[in-house]
Amino acid sequence: MICTVTLNPAYDKTVTVKDLITHEVNVILDVRFDPGGKGINVSRVVKELGSQTKALGIIGGDTGLFLKNFLEGRGIVTDFVHVDQPTRTNLTIIDIDNPPDTKLNEPGPVIEESVLLKVEKTILDALNESKFFVFAGSLPVGCPDNTYCRMIDLVRQRGAIAIVDTRDGALRESIKSLPYMIKPNACEASALLGREVITPEEACVAAKEFYKMGIKIAVISLGGDGAVMACDDGVFLGTPPKVKVESTVGSGDSLVAGICTGIESGLPLPDAFRLGLAAGTATATTPGTSLCKKDTVELIIGRVQVKKISE
């Protein structure tokens, strides 16, 4: 089982309009609601790919109840800590005539130390059935940058694997606890290392640097150009096929989910990397906040190229 920890999930509302005009009344052509948050997305894709998952984290109010019911209705086990403040709502506006999308994200509830202690209790309980923990997404208001460090240390001390996908100060601090795997994008890797990481060659050097720090798997995503992975087996460049991109929302989360699913099922790391790239690419072909479907992943995976580019 793969557990995910989402401390700042979201209730995602996506509306579609045609030729958005600011300061005027606009007619909504379509609306959809989805559970949001990077860890939530990872659990959804893990389940879609056929593995078991449990979603941990913090929810509140009717929007949080929507997340819980949505996930459990699709066979995903949950063990959320409930707070009084509602889970934040994120609004995405898709203008079919004027891409890219416009996003309006709420900050979310303020989380106190007592709530984090309850989350850590759910992690300890989950250690009885899982050795894979994905800590993903932004930190809630009120949480220090080293919040994930505590949780990474908690699972590492008990022989479990910690995967981190976050950004900014939370990512910088998390690396100090040496998680098993990280997945910054090129921009995030640039900020961490203090230099530009744009090309696959630069990403290769950067991934090696993270690996030498003690991170067993360092994946740097390069958008439509794929990703680079440094691990015990060497450094690999993964290149997905060209597809019609509808939305990149959730593609990075799907990449993480595919890699984790592959590792848990015993695939060699290059093959787990290939599965992750296929899942990320499949998600990019779906609109708005939709995520990949297993049959699309299976159609794409044979067209993903994974090449060893360095020891």
Closest by Cα among 256, 251, 265 to 296: 251
Residue type, 203: A
Residue type, 160: A
Cα separation, 243 vs 225, in Å, equals: 11
253 in catalytic set: yes
**Least reliable range by pLDDT among 238-247, 255-264, 267-276, 294-303:** 238-247
Residue type, 172: R
Class of domain 182-311: alpha beta
- pLDDT above 80 for 89: yes
Cα separation, 64 vs 35, in Å, equals: 9
**Residue 220 region, left (φ>0) first, then alpha (ψ -120 to 50), else beta?**
beta
Task: Please list the residues that pair with 110 across neighbouring strands.
Answer: 141
Task: Please tell me whether residue 187 adopts helix, strand or coil conformation.
Answer: helix
Tens of pLDDT, residues 47-76: 999 999 999 999 999 999 999 999 999 999
Task: Exactly one of 97, 101, 253, 295 is catalytic; name it.
Answer: 253
Residue 271 and residue 229 in contact, taking contact as beta carbons nearer than 8 Å: no
* Global confidence as pTM: 0.94
- pLDDT above 80 for 288: no
> What does the pLDDT average to over 15-19?
94
Give me the helix-helix angle, 269-284 and 294-301, nearest 10°: 120
Tens of pLDDT, residues 136-184: 999 999 899 999 999 999 999 999 999 999 999 999 999 999 999 999 9
Cα separation, 206 vs 202, in Å, equals: 6
Q: 92 or 276: whose pLDDT is higher?
A: 276
Place of tokens 């990019």: 284
- Phi, then psi, of 218 in degrees rounded to 5: -115, 115
Tens of pLDDT, residues 173-224: 999 999 999 999 999 999 999 999 999 999 999 999 999 999 999 999 998 8
Note the CATH number of domain 1-179: 3.40.1190.20
Q: Find all residues with CB under 8 Å of 291, minimum gap 6, and list them.
A: 41, 44, 45, 48, 250, 253, 254, 283
Q: What angle do CA 161, 58, 263 make, to 5 degrees?
A: 25
Residue type, 222: L
Cα separation, 256 vs 299, in Å, equals: 19
Task: Please tell me whether residue 94 adopts helix, strand or coil conformation.
Answer: strand
Residue 71 and residue 286 in contact, taking contact as beta carbons nearer than 8 Å: no
> What length is written for the chain?
311
What is the model's pLDDT at position 238?
Answer: 97
Cα separation, 50 vs 44, in Å, equals: 10
Centroid of chain to Cα 308: 25
What is the model's pLDDT at position 290?
Answer: 84
Task: Please tell me whether residue 297 adopts helix, strand or coil conformation.
Answer: helix
Delimiting residues of CATH 3.40.1190.20 domain(s) in the chain? 1-179, 182-311
Where is 300: in which H helix or E strand?
helix 294-301
